[in-house]
Chain A
Amino acid sequence: MVRTVPIVLAILIGVAGCSHVERQTSPVDKAAQSKIYIKTLRDNHYQLIVDRKPYIVKGVCYNPIPIGQNHEYDWWSDPGKPWIADGKLMKEMGINTVRIYQPGANVEAVRNVIRDLYQLYGIRTILGHWLCFWEYPCPFYGDQDFQEKVKKEVLEMVSAYKDEEGLLLWILGNENNYSFAGRVNPWSNEEIDSEPDPQKQIALRAKIYYSFVNELIKEIKKIDSVHPVALGNGELVGLEKANEYCPQADLVACIIYRGKSFGNIFSNLRNVFDRPILLSEFGADAFDAYKKKEDQNMQAFFLEAQWRQIYENLAGNKKGAGNCLGGAFFEWTDEWWKHNEWAQDSWSVHDTGSNWSNGAYYLDIKADGNKNMNEEWFGIVGLSEELENGINKRTPRKAYYVIREFWKNPAKSPKPEAKSKK
């Protein structure tokens, strides 16, 4: 999760912006993966098929920044190999997928992480790309040179990792669509500037952006016919335009923070842009901003409700929309650098401050200024300064166990198909 626009712009360029992927010439490792695809069932439900079997994405967003470091840290090259310990814990919980927002600069290191997670634990990796959303001063999606630069990076990424056996799919962009309204990372070009009507400006930005992503997907598919490509999107905002300009997208990867529910997003997507949906970022923090203390139950409460709704909307559930492929909750470990990213001292402090408010997380909404979203407490695994095998000791929170139990026996969740015959 990234927030506080535009303050973070310059800082985020390094990690979240256009990091360059080096083309590797070494032989490709084992890559005998079968095609991963989305199957449309008879009732128009969508199912992700991996190795000829239905695959429910039980995923987590993964960015294991250690205490005292910030987003610039190259965890891929961490000698402590945090993904080894994390992968074990993940497997024990039932996680089968990690979502990574954008690979690091060292291709071999990234490959090693993908391989370790898959070979040791069977955990697959979703790789994303920010599409240079955090480029300074803004992402010029209407500029041809900028587009070429982004395309080059994305295709380099695809070339570098497409043959990895553990790779599941690609996600292009994250919440980039929020820039259409001009409030977040505002970008423009002459055509937009000459349009006086703000609504038409928004439509123009959407057309330019989604058309560009469509071209990217076409190019990706020329070199990788194995992995689906998702359009990353904040909520469903702008997707009516994606329906028009981004038909190449295989699925939509939505970022959603609506408390214990995703509302009517599944059925709405059917009407707006009929593609399968992956909840690629959602979750809850584990700090009660009102009572000013850690509350693991609160986090577990929201996450369990969210997963229940994901399952209700998977393929095969007659009462659900049947278009959900699963989800990747935010996130695996806490990130201690996030609250005050400018102050290095604070990267070693587990800050309890909050920068933003979300009324859907109602249990601590009475916090000062309604600021209830605690950026450094979203992990379902807490970190401690104590080191264990060279990395910060991991302590699973309540949500870890609650979701583990849910996944073990999702049939215990309500069965909508057994509903009233009346």
Chain B
Amino acid sequence: MKKTIFKIFLASIIVFNSHFLGRGLFAKEDKELTRQVIEAKNNQEARLPLEELRKLYAQENKYNEFVDFLNSLKKQKKGIEQAINFYIGFTRYNQLRYLEENQSWDEYFSQGNTYRSEIDASLEKAIDALSETDIFSIYARLILWKFHQAQQDTLAEDALNQLMAATLACAETCTSLLPVKQVADELSSAGEKSKSRQLYKIYVERISASDIKDQDLKNIAQGFYAEKNLELAQALYDAYLDRVMKSTSQDEVISDLLEIGKAFLPAEERTGDIFYAEKIFKRIEGLTGKEVFGEELTYARAFHLEKAKEYAQAKEIYLDLSNRFPASIHYDEALFKAAMIYTYVLRDIEKGRGYFKDLADKEKISPAVIASIYQLGLLAQWQQDFTAAKGYYENLLDKAGRAFGDRKALTKIRLKEIAEAKPLEYNLKKFLDVSLDKENLIFNMSKVELKSSLPRLETRQDAEVFATSAMPASGCMEVMVDYLWSGNLGSVTPSLDKSSFAVSYTYAGTKEINLVVVSSSGVVDRSIIFLDVY
């Protein structure tokens, strides 16, 4: 009798399920999954088939139908109630997201509160009925936190704390670390970095403490690197390096460190993480000094630090490059950038001028040599030593010959200013005043963010330059600011109201883009970036 009832129940559920899925009455996959759910003896056994069924329904956005299916199951199938409760809450959460993203507003407004109540009630039921470290309990807390976080409501903080507590408990006792990693991944992508790091650390410690081989640990790290989970990859690489540094020869360790550091350098095909790469490179420096870094790697370190606006560090490495590789093709660029950083970022005009002079004295002409002569003229002009300035500018025109059209154009403007006893162009003078005058130390480039869409570009290739300024809150009263652009802007002259513009260059070399942002009450801040044109 019992068997017969069960068969009838099974058949009715399968029909119900297949009907709502609209995939044919006896779609084999659905039928089999439903059978597995029916036959599951507990929540854990029901998990995989329910998850597969959830995906099938979600593919067709049949959220209500899946909840109906779960509710019908709940009435008749004992032993898997909490799995069902979890999936009801999870489904409603996904449904609300779907309705918002697809702007299905009629259902959103008419049913939103009902669905919200169901999310809360179903997930709470699962949590209340299960042990804290049960996988469904962890996932229920995860969804509950994501739900409140999405609503940005007052319960989000509590939900996060409860999620963390449960996950940490699971990290101590659970056989499988998968929930710990999944929670950490979710926290990481939601920007809860300190909490995700805490969980990743435990995750890595437990893996590392197992009898896993070094190479396998490295392989796992590489796997997460390939998945672009850099945070976890870094934690695993750190654990791997801690191990091998105790057991492997220094040469092998350095080889490993170099491989890992290079992998994290930004490149066209990947975002990278220059800060982690530098952490690794500093480890190498601590072991063996800088000699192991070849010309190209040294240049790459400096270049990416410069693009990350770590100007002081970049300057050091550019100078190291110029000292150790005086014949490098990057020599002029490195020295020019070091001089620019000294002058305009670190406000050390004399140091900067010294390096500009070193370049200006070179016999072999390059874009950096010409740009250095221009900078010497500019500094002299700003300091009102017009004779010296004129000398530098004339020297530049003499040395430039038929090339370097953009620098020559700027130089001619400067010479005209001197000839006509006019002040430096306003935007440029403002930048020099704010960057070089001692009383303007407060303008330390922290409130204006200046970026380029491309770190380097070919001649005649467009790049977008854009600025954002961190302004004090002003509510719905928009603070009007002016953008005073100067430097080598190619052929464009962005107007005061433009926070961005497109630029391209005809001539190769490093182009400095200067900006001062001004509001009605004065200077907000200034910034400078370098575009490298090849």
The 24 listed contacts between A and B (C-beta, < 8 Å) are A2-B477, A3-B477, A3-B478, A5-B478, A5-B520, A7-B480, A178-B472, A181-B472, A181-B474, A182-B521, A183-B471, A234-B475, A235-B475, A257-B475, A257-B476, A298-B103, A300-B109, A356-B478, A412-B113, A412-B117, A413-B116, A416-B153, A419-B124, A420-B162
- A159: interface (CB < 8 Å): no
CA distance A235 to B157 in the complex (A): 20
Contact of B155 among A178, A355, A416 (CB under 8 A): A416
The answer to whether B105 touches A301 (Cβ under 8 A) is yes
The answer to whether A305 touches B151 (Cβ under 8 A) is yes
The answer to whether B476 touches A373 (Cβ under 8 A) is yes
CA distance A309 to B152 in the complex (A): 9
Question: Using Cβ atoms and an 8 Å threshold, which residues of chain A touch B128?
Answer: 420-422
Q: A3-B476, A421-B128, A422-B162 are in contact. Are A414 and B105 (CB under 8 A)?
A: no
The answer to whether A175 touches B476 (Cβ under 8 A) is yes
The answer to whether A186 touches B154 (Cβ under 8 A) is no
The answer to whether B520 touches A175 (Cβ under 8 A) is no
- A321: interface (CB < 8 Å): yes
Q: A267-B154, A402-B109 are in contact. Are A178 and B478 (CB under 8 A)?
A: no
The answer to whether B113 touches A312 (Cβ under 8 A) is no
CA distance A140 to B494 in the complex (A): 36
CA distance A5 to B480 in the complex (A): 7
- A84: interface (CB < 8 Å): no
- A266: interface (CB < 8 Å): yes
List CB contacts (< 8 Å) of B468-487 with chain A: 471-480
Q: Which A residues are within 8 Å of any B CB, using their own CB?
A: 1-7, 175, 178, 180-184, 186, 198, 234-235, 237, 255, 257, 260-261, 263-264, 266-267, 297-298, 300-301, 304-305, 308-309, 312-313, 319-321, 355-356, 363, 373, 398, 402, 405, 412-416, 418-422
Contact-residue size bin, chain B (C-beta under 8 Å from the other chain) = 35 or more
Most buried by B among A320, A356, A422: A422
Q: A261-B152, A321-B154, A422-B132 are in contact. Are A1 and B162 (CB under 8 A)?
A: no
Task: Mark each residue of chain B from 393 to 437: 1 if its CB lies under 8 Å from any CB of chain A, else 0.
Answer: 000000000000000000000000000000000000000000000
The answer to whether B127 touches A412 (Cβ under 8 A) is no
The answer to whether B154 touches A419 (Cβ under 8 A) is no
Q: A183-B471, A261-B152, A412-B113 are in contact. Are A4 and B478 (CB under 8 A)?
A: yes
The answer to whether B162 touches A5 (Cβ under 8 A) is no
Nearest B-chain residue to A235, judged by Cβ: B473
CA distance A388 to B87 in the complex (A): 53
Question: Using Cβ atoms and an 8 Å threshold, which residues of chain B touch A313?
Answer: 154
CA distance A414 to B519 in the complex (A): 44
The answer to whether A234 touches B474 (Cβ under 8 A) is yes
Task: Mark each residue of chain B from 123 to 155: 1 if its CB lies under 8 Å from any CB of chain A, else 0.
Answer: 010011000100000000000000000011111
Q: A182-B521, A300-B105, A421-B128 are in contact. Are A4 and B480 (CB under 8 A)?
A: yes
Contacts A305-B151, A321-B154, A419-B158 supplied; 9 other A-B pairs, CB < 8 Å: A178-B473, A181-B473, A183-B479, A255-B476, A257-B476, A260-B151, A297-B105, A300-B109, A308-B153
Question: Using Cβ atoms and an 8 Å threshold, which residues of chain B touch A422?
Answer: 127-128, 132, 162
A197 to chain B, nearest CB (A): 9
The answer to whether A178 touches B105 (Cβ under 8 A) is no
The answer to whether B476 touches A184 (Cβ under 8 A) is no
How many contacting A-B pairs (Cβ < 8 A)? 130
CA distance A3 to B475 in the complex (A): 8
Q: A178-B472, A301-B100 are in contact. Are A420 and B127 (CB under 8 A)?
A: yes
Question: Using Cβ atoms and an 8 Å threshold, which residues of chain A touch B151?
Answer: 260-261, 305, 308-309
- B287: interface (CB < 8 Å): no
- B108: interface (CB < 8 Å): yes
B31 to chain A, nearest CB (A): 37
The answer to whether A184 touches B477 (Cβ under 8 A) is yes
Q: Which B residues are within 8 Å of any A CB, using their own CB?
A: 100, 103, 105, 108-109, 112-114, 116-117, 120, 124, 127-128, 132, 151-155, 157-158, 162, 442, 471-480, 519-522
Question: Using Cβ atoms and an 8 Å threshold, which residues of chain B touch A255?
Answer: 475-476
Question: Using Cβ atoms and an 8 Å threshold, which residues of chain A touch B157?
Answer: 264
A281 to chain B, nearest CB (A): 8
A362 to chain B, nearest CB (A): 10
Nearest A-chain residue to B108, judged by Cβ: A301
The answer to whether A175 touches B117 (Cβ under 8 A) is no
Nearest A-chain residue to B137, judged by Cβ: A422
Nearest B-chain residue to A197, judged by Cβ: B442
Nearest B-chain residue to A309, judged by Cβ: B153
The answer to whether B477 touches A309 (Cβ under 8 A) is no
Most buried by A among B103, B114, B162, B520: B520
Question: Using Cβ atoms and an 8 Å threshold, which residues of chain B touch A5?
Answer: 474, 477-480, 520
CA distance A312 to B155 in the complex (A): 9
A9 to chain B, nearest CB (A): 10
B479 to chain A, nearest CB (A): 5
Q: A6-B520, A183-B471 are in contact. Are A266 and B109 (CB under 8 A)?
A: no
Question: Using Cβ atoms and an 8 Å threshold, which residues of chain A touch B472?
Answer: 178, 180-181, 183, 237
B467 to chain A, nearest CB (A): 13
B411 to chain A, nearest CB (A): 35
CA distance A422 to B128 in the complex (A): 8
A364 to chain B, nearest CB (A): 11
The answer to whether A263 touches B473 (Cβ under 8 A) is no
Question: Using Cβ atoms and an 8 Å threshold, which residues of chain A touch B100?
Answer: 301
CA distance A6 to B479 in the complex (A): 8
Most buried by A among B116, B153, B478, B479: B153
Question: Using Cβ atoms and an 8 Å threshold, which residues of chain A touch B117?
Answer: 412, 414-415
Most buried by A among B100, B124, B162, B476: B476
Contact of B474 among A184, A412, A413 (CB under 8 A): A184
A421 to chain B, nearest CB (A): 7
CA distance A71 to B320 in the complex (A): 64
CA distance A260 to B100 in the complex (A): 12
Question: Using Cβ atoms and an 8 Å threshold, which residues of chain A touch B521?
Answer: 182-183, 186
CA distance A313 to B224 in the complex (A): 42
A417 to chain B, nearest CB (A): 11
Interchain residue pairs A-B with the least CB separation, the first 5: A261-B152, A181-B472, A297-B105, A234-B475, A182-B521
The answer to whether A198 touches B442 (Cβ under 8 A) is yes
CA distance A309 to B478 in the complex (A): 26
Nearest A-chain residue to B110, judged by Cβ: A405
B465 to chain A, nearest CB (A): 15
Q: A300-B105, A301-B108, A304-B109 are in contact. Are A356 and B155 (CB under 8 A)?
A: no
The answer to whether B113 touches A413 (Cβ under 8 A) is yes
Question: Using Cβ atoms and an 8 Å threshold, which residues of chain A touch B112?
Answer: 304
B165 to chain A, nearest CB (A): 9
CA distance A4 to B475 in the complex (A): 11
A92 to chain B, nearest CB (A): 18
CA distance A287 to B477 in the complex (A): 19
The answer to whether B155 touches A2 (Cβ under 8 A) is no
Question: Using Cβ atoms and an 8 Å threshold, which residues of chain A touch B124?
Answer: 419-420
The answer to whether A312 touches B476 (Cβ under 8 A) is no
B507 to chain A, nearest CB (A): 31
The answer to whether B477 touches A414 (Cβ under 8 A) is no
Q: A6-B520, A235-B473 are in contact. Are A355 and B154 (CB under 8 A)?
A: no
The answer to whether A183 touches B519 (Cβ under 8 A) is yes
Question: Using Cβ atoms and an 8 Å threshold, which residues of chain B touch A402?
Answer: 109
CA distance A135 to B157 in the complex (A): 43
Contact of B152 among A186, A260, A420 (CB under 8 A): A260
CA distance A178 to B478 in the complex (A): 11
Question: Using Cβ atoms and an 8 Å threshold, which residues of chain A touch B152?
Answer: 260-261, 263, 309
CA distance A413 to B114 in the complex (A): 8
